[in-house]
Amino acid sequence: MTVTPSPEAFRAARAEGNELLRSSGALFESFFSLDGAAYAPGALPASVKELLGLVISVMKDCEECVYYHLERCDEERVAREQVLEALQVALVGGGSVAIPLLRRAVSYMEDLPTLARQHPWTERRG
Which residues here bind a second copy, judged by CB under 8 A?
1-2, 4-5, 9-10, 13-14, 17-18, 20-21, 24-25, 27-28, 30-31, 34-35, 37-39, 42-44, 48-49, 51-53, 55-57, 59-65, 67, 79, 81-82, 84-86, 88-100, 102-104, 106-107
Minimum Å gap between C-beta 77 and a second copy is 13
Neighbours of 9 (CB within 10 A): 11
Minimum Å gap between C-beta 72 and a second copy is 12
Minimum Å gap between C-beta 101 and a second copy is 9
How many helices (H) and strands (E) the chain has is answered by 6, 0
Alpha-carbon distance of 122 to 19, in angstroms, equals: 39
Alpha-carbon distance of 80 to 109, in angstroms, equals: 9
